[in-house]
Structure 1
Amino acid sequence: MKKLMVLVAALALVAGSAMTAAAADWNFYGSARIATFFTDLDQADTTNYGENLQGNSRIGATVKVSDEVTGGFEYGTGVNVRKLYGEWNFGAGSLLVGQTYTPLNYFYSNQVYGTDNDMLAQGGVYSGREGMLRLKFGGFQIAVLAPKDPVFGGAAATEVSMPGIEANYNLVMDNFSFNLGAGYQSYELLGTATGDHDVDSYVVALGAKTGFGGFSLGGNVYIGENVGNIMALSLDGDNAWNDGNADWDGTNVVDNEAMGFILVATFKANDMFAFEAGYGYAEAEQMGGLLDDNEVQTYYVQSTITLAPGVFITPEIGVIDGEETGSEEITYYGAKWQINF
């Protein structure tokens, strides 16, 4: 009799779980992306062809359990978790628990070279996807997340006494949108030869976009100190530069003042053809003259060709120039091929 009761209870649990899963609304999606580009390296005087599955190809789902509870997940190549979160709408606002884009992410550019670089490493505002607790009230959102706390300067360890904080306000009107955001984090280096040292970082960012008819113009600007400790300014090997992190002069922490901006113009001729041009610039200056100013810029033109709903080819030609970093100037041309499903 006891075994029968256990079996009935197990069957009831499985049935209840199945009913709960069936009641949720699951919407699956995916995006396959192939990059085909020629890259000219100025100093090496070489031209290389590359063809690869982009790392930001993805598959995922959004889930609606009820009017109050939603969620989602997204996996990239690798397989790495891009997003995994749940969100509770409590009426006055919503609480998100998990990993997704933090408040400081502005996507005004569609630059496709460098795994959809979007000029994020050359003047864009990009903090990436992080695990966090986020509150959202209308167009305002604020999140607490684990701060980036690299050990450097001969320190034995770091001490983190508060989370990183990011906030953003987004306003959307008929032909105009606006973003105003900020981030702050702090941690302490322990056990250096000259004692313990604070590493403080902040950034303030402003973005906007407007459009009339088929034309649109958008961009952003940011300023801050040790911005690289908050924002993901170096995205990969093609786009890397000295990204505004705090540094060490052998005795003390050297703060790094940074700024950047991008400007993007687009024109949609019809449902098949759209055109875009963009320019981005960023610089970092270490206080105390430890190193010279470090600058980077990029510019490009492209056309997005829509062959069918969800099927795109984006030919693009552009330049990424590290200027005073000593890195090679990259001239590239080719296309991204993408099918969303």
Structure 2
Amino acid sequence: MKRGIVGVVACAASVALSVPALAVDFSGYGAVRVGTYWTQNQYYSATAGASYGARRSDSDFSLDLMGDSLVGVRVKEGDFSAVAEMGAFNPKAASSGPEVRLLFGEWDFGKGKIRVGKAPSPYVYRTQMTWDSDGGMNAYGSLWDGRYAQIKLTMNNGFYFTLMQPRAGAGSVYTSNAAGAGSSLAAFSETANTYATTYTNYNTIMPKIVTGYEGKLSNWTYGGGVSYNLYNLERVTAANATPIKTDIHSYLVFFHGKVDVAPVEFSYNLFTGRNLGDLMSSAASAYVATSATFSTTGTASYYDVTNDANAYTYGGWGQIGYTVNPKLKIYAGASYVSDDNRKTRADERFAAFVNAHYQVSKNFKIVPEIGYMNDMTNTLGNKEPRTLEAGAKWEMSF
């Protein structure tokens, strides 16, 4: 038994000693985050036959591991580097368990880099808001839409060009058959394989394209760009009827940046686009628990099949930060976003927060916070949920 242990140790030592010879550098990192939040939700009745606007409320306290708790490793060998990162869970689908947050390799060819793998979209730019697993105003003026497979070329002069996994339909995944058990939220499928009296078929045509520029001028760091996606929607509304085909074009134009005039900094994010739900996840987050009869949130940014109308979106956020001392920073921000298909009422959302980032020690940080999210009104003109949150994030990182 002892000989076996000695052998294992000797083997491990041999591998460790060989790493420098191979000139491969490994480094690990991670963060464990727990959120303690009290939330007060208000939602409004929109059930058929009831008077619209009747208010209901729900109050809860939570102490839970935040979904962006993670552990990762970086590897570098010459002009090649790679990142692999595992997260605790997807905060919008905790039951699915741990998830691969990042997994990509990069080749530095001198004038730029080529990245292949899974990473956030280039237009992602979020606030310092911590609630909802460091949500950063997701769906309330930020442009977070998850992490997707991509091929990205970044030049040393700041320009980049990205081909990404395409998106189509009214969900993050889609199907070719909307009959029976099939729907736009069912399992991924690119080819129709079931004939039905009525069905909807999504035909992907090309990758999503994102191109832009990131630069710096004195104390101003800034960026901006455009994104485009195209897919074909084919619908059959009756037995043996001629399919109705529609090309769905979606685009995004975005600008973001930060002006740092220590101890004060100002950050911003502005965007506009068409059919953003078909380009990225721009619908309201799912953390406000409401019955489908109470809300139609989450549909207004997609191409409207019923009204045969494109959805137009504009929004953004602004944030001010103040460094009190090396251990304490204070942030405050507000945001607004509106989705409008120009045939129904606009779906609007607003959010605001203030928090303090206190670095207790090198590896330990506490962030007390107060925030407010107001989903305002939906496309029917009905009031939607309002959420007040107060609590703190507890983070230990390495």
TM-score under structure 1 normalisation?
A: 0.88
For 2:396, the aligned partner's letter is: I
Match of 1:111 among 114, 129, 135: 129
Match of 2:210 among 146, 166, 170: 166
Match of 1:248 among 302, 305, 308: 305
For 1:221, the aligned partner's letter is: L
Match of 1:6 in 2: none
Q: How does 1:1-341 map to 2 (within 5 A)?
A: 23-42=23-42, 43-66=55-78, 68-77=79-88, 78-107=97-126, 109-138=127-156, 139-150=158-169, 155-193=199-237, 194-234=243-283, 236-238=285-287, 241-242=298-299, 244-249=301-306, 253-287=308-342, 289=343, 291-325=344-378, 326-341=383-398
Contact 1:247 1:254 in 2 (8 A): yes
Cα distance in structure 1, aligned partners of 2:116 and 2:224: 23
SS at match of 2:325: coil
Kindly state the Cα deviation for residue 327 of structure 1 after the two structures are TM-superposed.
2.5
Contact 2:340 2:346 in 1 (8 A): yes
Q: Which moved more, 1:97-106 or 1:298-307?
A: 97-106
Cα distance in structure 2, aligned partners of 1:21 and 1:82: 30
Kindly state the Cα deviation for residue 272 of structure 1 after the two structures are TM-superposed.
1.5
Cα distance in structure 2, aligned partners of 1:225 and 1:110: 27
For 1:57, the aligned partner's letter is: S
Deviations 1:97-124 (A, max 9, x none): 10012211113x1001111111131111
- Note the aligned Cα RMSD (angstroms): 2.4
Cα distance in structure 2, aligned partners of 1:191 and 1:233: 24
For 1:89, the aligned partner's letter is: D
> Judging changes above 3 Å, is the alpha-carbon distance between structure 1 residues 241 and 300 closer, same or farther for their aligned structure 2 residues?
farther
Kindly state the Cα deviation for residue 80 of structure 1 after the two structures are TM-superposed.
0.7
Kindly state the Cα deviation for residue 336 of structure 1 after the two structures are TM-superposed.
0.7
> Judging changes above 3 Å, is the alpha-carbon distance between structure 1 residues 21 and 36 closer, same or farther for their aligned structure 2 residues?
farther
Aligned length in residues? 323
Deviations 1:251-303 (A, max 9, x none): x642110011100001010012111110010010013x1x3110000001111
Cα distance in structure 2, aligned partners of 1:233 and 1:256: 12
SS at match of 1:269: strand
Contact 2:28 2:71 in 1 (8 A): yes
Cα distance in structure 2, aligned partners of 1:36 and 1:234: 25
Deviations 1:176-205 (A, max 9, x none): 111111100000012433521111100100
> Judging changes above 3 Å, is the alpha-carbon distance between structure 1 residues 65 and 243 closer, same or farther for their aligned structure 2 residues?
farther
Deviations 1:54-99 (A, max 9, x none): 1111110111011x11011111112211110001111121111100
Cα distance in structure 2, aligned partners of 1:103 and 1:175: 22
For 2:115, the aligned partner's letter is: L
**Unaligned regions of 5+ residues in structure 2, if any?**
1-13, 43-54, 89-96, 179-183, 185-197, 238-242, 289-296
SS at match of 1:220: strand
Kindly state the Cα deviation for residue 155 of structure 1 after the two structures are TM-superposed.
4.4
Match of 1:11 in 2: none
Contact 1:241 1:322 in 2 (8 A): no
Kindly state the Cα deviation for residue 241 of structure 1 after the two structures are TM-superposed.
4.1
For 2:201, the aligned partner's letter is: A
Cα distance in structure 2, aligned partners of 1:318 and 1:53: 19
Structure with greater proportional strand content: 1
Contact 1:101 1:129 in 2 (8 A): yes
TM-score under structure 2 normalisation?
A: 0.76
Cα distance in structure 1, aligned partners of 2:298 and 2:231: 24
Q: Which moved more, 1:181-190 or 1:45-54?
A: 45-54
For 1:49, the aligned partner's letter is: F
For 1:24, the aligned partner's letter is: V
Contact 2:41 2:59 in 1 (8 A): yes
SS at match of 1:324: coil
**Unaligned regions of 5+ residues in structure 1, if any?**
1-13
Contact 1:127 1:230 in 2 (8 A): no
Kindly state the Cα deviation for residue 20 of structure 1 after the two structures are TM-superposed.
8.9
